[in-house]
Structure 1
């Protein structure tokens, strides 16, 4: 028995537009998710370069001095005269004499390289008054020849 097909055969078409939409959605997901993997403790500042810069332990508290002179602790603005009190409240009271000594909290100062040197010293002076904390300065390694900033 023979079947006669009078309908014209339509050519097969692969529609790639939905596939492109799915690929862009996946790409957008990965781009957005990687933004949350970066360390974002302070505001974006241009750190000064230092060839002797060494990686330290994770900062307990990050104090940022922006290029416009604003001071913030972990992205929360704070006035210079309130800095010691605010940081001491976050660090807590140091252990009493004779008790087991806990490790010191590391306070890291991130200062924009364009900021006035006097303001950096004023912030460091306030932070040195915090009992039970050590002070560090954030810098970055200089770019090697051929590296781009």
Structure 2
């Protein structure tokens, strides 16, 4: 009489079960994202005034050093002006300030233009909500 010994098969099955139980949580495909809050602390003030590119809802751009006197500029002139400023002071921060009605793709196009101009990092400016914790900190 030949009987099959199933004990080794049960051991293998239990080992595989343990392996699947351990690795299943690691294979979870969803990514949880905690979106940034608008009530962020303002950046520390440096001696260098940032370059600010404003993107308006009607598609126009303005460019300024600091928050004073933004000048209208075309998309083609933007890359040249930013590249010249970055060449003079490579550590100059560059910020994009977009109207809430501007399409996301338009802001990304401006950021891409700035990247081609040689800007290593681009910041996005926000405004704290009215009456919020930092509403008085910066009027951006």
TM-score range, shorter chain: 0.5 to 0.7
How much does 1:92 deviate? 1.6
1:51 has 2:38 as partner: yes
Partner of 1:134: 121
Do 1:60 and 1:105's aligned partners in 2 also have CA atoms closer than 8 Å? yes
Do 1:65 and 1:110's aligned partners in 2 also have CA atoms closer than 8 Å? yes
How much does 1:134 deviate? 2.6
How much does 1:144 deviate? 4.2
Deviating runs (4+, > 3 A) in structure 1? none
Higher helix share: 2
Distance (whole Å) between structure 1 residues aligned to residue 55 and residue 74 of structure 2? 11
Structure of higher RCO (CA pairs closer than 8 Å, 6+ residues apart): 1
Q: 2:101 aligned to 106, 114, 119, which one?
A: 114
**Runs of 5+ in structure 2 lacking a partner?**
1-35, 65-69, 136-140
How much does 1:112 deviate? 0.4
Partner of 2:50: 60
Distance (whole Å) between structure 1 residues aligned to residue 60 and residue 113 of structure 2? 15
Partner of 1:82: 77
Please give the per-residue CA displacement for 1:41-65, whole angstroms capped at 9, x wherever unaligned. xxxxxxxx94353311454211011
Partner of 2:21: none
Q: What TM-score do the two structures reach when normalised by structure 2?
A: 0.53
RMSD: 2.7
Do 1:91 and 1:133's aligned partners in 2 also have CA atoms closer than 8 Å? no
Do 2:38 and 2:126's aligned partners in 1 also have CA atoms closer than 8 Å? no
How much does 1:69 deviate? 1.3
Give the count of matched residue pairs.
90
